[in-house]
Amino acid sequence: MSKLARGADSINEGALRGAHPDADDRQVKAALKPRDRIEEMYAEDLAHSDRQTTILQRATSHVIAARQRQALYNFLAEHHEANDADRVALVERWSRGDPKARAEVAAVLNEAGLSEFSLEAEAVLDSLPTLLVLEQLQASKVARRERALAGLAFYRRMQTQGQALSSPKHAVESVLRLPEPE
């Protein structure tokens, strides 16, 4: 069981990182086409928040999957006649998607009137404290990403208005639109 527990309780950092975070950052920056250092700062903040949001989403999935493996092991320990090493091997094969292991687990669960959804539900319930923290962190990152987008849009609007205000044509138009004295 110790091998399974270690796998279930550790979060594989490589699995949580994006496959190519630098490429994703470059794509975000390319889409925004920053025109100066301030816009580049907004783009960097947006890319960072987006990357962190993705990591938190993957962490959530990993936590549930790990707890689901643990729930399966616990169920098998109570309902499946096998030694500990065989149960661990079955859980590992099942988690990798081995069709024979999936069928064997489905049969054992079915005998108890359960399904894989029962394991998932137990995993979510067992993980709620962790999932709530991950959700709060993710909400914070999403809010930061939205603020970066709004900040960039505001900055660009101000830049555009500033250029329009400084043009001679705008100065003439603004004088022509002055309200008449009362």
**pLDDT per residue over 45-79, tens digit each?**
888 988 999 999 999 999 999 999 999 999 999 98
Residue with tokens 């999936």: 102
DSSP category for residue 181: P
Q: What is the pTM of this model?
A: 0.66
Greatest mean pLDDT among 34-48, 114-128, 140-154, 168-182 lies in 114-128
What does the pLDDT look like over 83-115, one tens digit per residue? 889 999 999 999 999 999 999 999 999 999 999
pLDDT value of position 87:
92
**Domain-wise residue ranges, the chain:** 2-176
Query: Which contacts of 108-114 are long-range, i.e. CB under 8 A and separated by 24 or more positions?
Result: 108/75, 108/76, 108/79, 108/80, 109/75, 111/79, 112/75, 112/79, 114/75
